[in-house]
Amino acid sequence: MLTHIGTIQIETERLILRRFEYTDDEDMLKYWVSNPKIQSMYCEPIYTTKQEVKKLLNKYISSYEKKDYYRWAIILRRMDECIGQIAYFLMNTDNRFAEIEYCIGELFQRKGLATEATKAVIQYGFNRINLHKVQICHKSINTASRRVIEKCGFVYEGTSRDFFYENGKYIDRLYYSILKDEFKKFK
For residue 45, the domain's CATH number is: 3.40.630.30
Total domains, the chain: 1
How many alpha carbons fall within 13 Å on the CB side of residue 13? 6
Residue 3 lies in a domain: no
Question: What is the pLDDT at residue 185?
Answer: 86
Phi–psi pair at 129, nearest 5 degrees: -95, -20
Q: How confident is the model at residue 148 (pLDDT cuts 50, 70, 90)?
A: very high
Buried b (16+ CB within 10 A) or exposed e, 89-105: eebeeeebbbbbbbbbb
In a domain, 168, yes or no: yes
Residue 82: inside a domain = yes
pLDDT digits (tens, 9 = 90+) for 87-137: 999 999 999 999 999 999 999 999 999 999 999 999 999 999 999 999 999
Span 2-56, pLDDT tens digits = 999 999 999 999 999 999 999 999 999 999 999 999 999 888 999 999 999 999 9
- Please give the DSSP secondary-structure letter assigned to residue 15: E
Residue 113 lies in a domain: yes
Average pLDDT over residues 55-70: 97
Is 65 within a domain? yes
Residue 170 lies in a domain: yes
Residue 187 pLDDT = 63
Quickly count: other Cβ atoms within 10 Å of residue 10's Cβ. 17
Tell me which residue range forms the domain holding 42.
Answer: 10-186
In-domain check, residue 2: no
